[in-house]
Structure 1
């Protein structure tokens, strides 16, 4: 069992990693700078993450954990599964935007870490299979792909909808999500 202190240290390290990536880019990320930003020794950082690659995996896992926690909080507030999903995706602010060099580096990194990627795929597929069980699978996929496209256009800052268009788009998706959730209850 991991202690609360160890979890907090890991979180500080992953948060510091994001901060350093934002200021320098991932290819120039150093463990020394992350340790400094996280206010831990390099040895302390290496205790939690043995390499730069493990550190990147930790950042990805932390982002996933935050999203799943937020999704569960929406469910606990009484939102249906589809509405919680749309709300999560529509309200999720990217913590960092990646330049093309960093994206290419990450794609290369992920290609070399197949087991890590397969575990991510397994978790995401499990989530979407559960989500699609509560709705028409085609409608659930349509909502998902619209949200994926919206996030991509916002992340890379191309073909972005205006603020008003985004609000209308999200409003329609939420309306449809509520209808799907209501039909699931009946």
Structure 2
């Protein structure tokens, strides 16, 4: 069992990593700079992440955990499963807009760590299968792929919709999600 202090230290380290990548770019991401930004010794950082590669995989895991927690929060607020999913995916977060060097490094890192990627795929597949268990899978996939496309266009800043069109798109997806959630509720 990992202590609360260790979890907090890991989170400070992953937060510092993301902050450096966003504000200074991937070339400035060094273990020394992350340790300094996170206010830990380099040895402390290496205790949690033995390499830059492990650190970046830790960032990915941390982002996944935060997304899952946010999804749970939406559910606890009374949103249906699909509506909570749309709300989560529709968040416009700048931290996903990384420079091309970072994206290429992350892609090569993932290519070299097949087990890590397979675990992520398994988790996403399991989550989405549970999400759509009592829903029209075509409707659910239409929403999912629309959101995926939106995220990609915003991430790469290529073909992204104007803010008012984005807002209208999200509102329509939320209406569809509520309809899907109501239909699923009636089936149960």
**Which bin holds the TM-score, normalised by the shorter protein?**
over 0.9
Deviations 1:104-161 (A, max 9, x none): 2211111000011111011100011111213111111110000011111111111111
Give how far 1:101 is off.
Answer: 2.2
Give how far 1:79 is off.
Answer: 0.6
Q: Which residue does the alignment assign to 2:112? A: 112
Q: Which residue does the alignment assign to 2:19? A: 19
Task: Find runs of 4+ consecutive structure 1 residues off by over 2 angstroms.
Answer: 23-28
The separation in 1 between residues aligned to 2:79 and 2:65, in whole angstroms, is 19
Aligned length: 186
Contact kept in structure 2, 1:27 and 1:105, CA below 8 Å:
no
What RMSD over aligned residues (CA atoms) do the two structures have, in Å?
1.1
Contact kept in structure 1, 2:22 and 2:95, CA below 8 Å:
no
The separation in 2 between residues aligned to 1:70 and 1:92, in whole angstroms, is 14
Larger deviation, residues 149-158 vs 30-39: 149-158
The separation in 1 between residues aligned to 2:144 and 2:3, in whole angstroms, is 36
For structure 2, which runs of at least 5 residues remain unmatched after alignment?
A: none
- Corresponding residue SS for 1:59: helix
2:83 counterpart of 1:63: no
Q: Which residue does the alignment assign to 1:44? A: 44
2:148 counterpart of 1:148: yes
The separation in 1 between residues aligned to 2:65 and 2:120, in whole angstroms, is 11
The separation in 2 between residues aligned to 1:30 and 1:96, in whole angstroms, is 20
The separation in 1 between residues aligned to 2:119 and 2:92, in whole angstroms, is 22
The separation in 1 between residues aligned to 2:134 and 2:90, in whole angstroms, is 20
For structure 1, which runs of at least 5 residues remain unmatched after alignment?
A: none
Contact kept in structure 1, 2:11 and 2:62, CA below 8 Å:
yes
Q: Normalising to structure 1: TM-score of the pair?
A: 0.96
Deviations 1:64-106 (A, max 9, x none): 0000000001111111100000011112514242222222221
The separation in 2 between residues aligned to 1:125 and 1:92, in whole angstroms, is 23
Contact kept in structure 1, 2:154 and 2:160, CA below 8 Å:
yes
Q: Normalising to structure 2: TM-score of the pair?
A: 0.95
2:85 counterpart of 1:85: yes
